[in-house]
Structure 1
């Protein structure tokens, strides 16, 4: 098997701009604050079968698609990668821009999380990798990760995407306390973790983390992360895949109930990633709420744009998503959240931003728009 590990590392180059990434490494403090070196060390310690191959793809991306510091970014990143014992491919904004111009495709973009994750599908697929493992630069792989991933995939040839947990501070549980009673984000996610981790068998689920996904190339050739998601691109992909599974897409030859588009969760210890983020992304809570409400609006609109998956169906696959977006009238739910938030914060600007965003994105059928882009994506990968 040919395995590809994809690592995204985000870099701040302008202290005066608000970053669209949670915790980018400041370029001027890269040597002191980067976490990539730990990730690379864990990859060097991986066990791999003699007949298998492992390549590493690193997207070292400056925020705001800035290209002016790419030579420095490449130089600093390569200093770390020199210690990597596997073949690697390194990309910066400049490299991606060249591909965008060459193929005249906006899928070559570093605008946000989703766009960069999609690059982690496109480039390994171009090199005909069999299995894509997507992680981030603040994560450590256990030494038998590849061995266990191969074992699971070999035993389950009809499974195309498998997610696994993060372990943080010695636990996979999501134990952070929810600030709002009307928005039990952590509690509902923890319920899923408990439910899905009771036994080691694979569970069909719309639950997982973008920093720990195991994906067959057949999936990556047909599915892409929904674009312009401010955060939570992992759940957006899993949900989009479920909607394609339920509805099919006749125009590109996808029949309803095609097993490629089912997604699964495995709690196996060997593929549980150790997560060591520099800080908690909810430090600025209003900023955190805004980004999350915007992503949930987009996910809600995806479901609203089709008729095969009901909101009630979410319960079977993700308690978390059901709690976050499982409402026929999502705008009323958002109003309740903002009303409670008012007792703790000034939400005047937030309220306007959220409802303007809701109204603007409600003008189109987001699911149908996704399918149009899906055809573009599939066509692109065919010519690469």
Structure 2
């Protein structure tokens, strides 16, 4: 395999004489990373490595594709491999943030500095957690280009993610939660708020809970599916967020009583209303159909508005903060983090501990009080603290 340098226009190229799979001779013109070498000397210096790579079949031919073109293909190929909600979040990040900032850059000209500067500018618009998701997208798209032989290396691996504080969430204390639940009792969807606060279910899990998955005798509700966005812009039933999200949740006696009363109420509605179409869901509309998240949120914020009229200092929480409240109150009550993890459906107890680390100092104090005055459980008087300690050399 031989090569020589040839000039075309204002650029220099490496011309290689080679054979195709059929044994026919062909001539291949190879350009530099910017579509041809600016100087002949640059081409001469690059030629030995290129010829060696061609011989070893490791040569990656430069691509003229922009990073935006690569991301669009990546996005479409990703669609059938992830849940629709996840894909929609990818699409939003790609089209709203990544492509406008980096899309016009040729992938071969993309440098770590481009990505690094982009991340720091994103801090003005997105949280650190969202920027991490952006990095996952960029890294995966570039890694695929490397594995497919389109580029030599993934420049995203050299980028340092910006550091920052975790996104904060608000939780209610015991008194505030009682105020909230008391205020929901006159609402059409009171039971939804009770279940969310007492089980820690995600909103999508709560709206997909079936009566067939509730055992009122054993006081257990099993999470098996989720009510999520569908491709037609509406909602549909799908698998839970992850395998660990499928789980049984023990119900408080009061919650079981609330569910018993709700079941009886729905049975009566079915008898009284000929238009009633029972969906088999625990939380449903007055005619038995699935409840849309938007309608639930409308009622949720209406309740908060009413509470804040009487209690101006009441926290302006989000619906998912009922889940955080559930976990925080359990941990403060001394419930083992492993149990809290199982109730929430986290992939591991470390995820739970990381999210609710702010609760742990109080837990440590409680544990130390229960042990005693020392690690052995002995009191200070038993250890003879009146005497000076002996120092070991």
**Does the TM-score normalized on the shorter chain lie above 0.5?**
no
The structure having more radius of gyration, on CA atoms, is 2
If asked which structure has higher relative contact order (CA below 8 Å, sep 6+), I would say 1
Normalised by the length of structure 2, the TM-score is: 0.21
Normalised by the length of structure 1, the TM-score is: 0.21
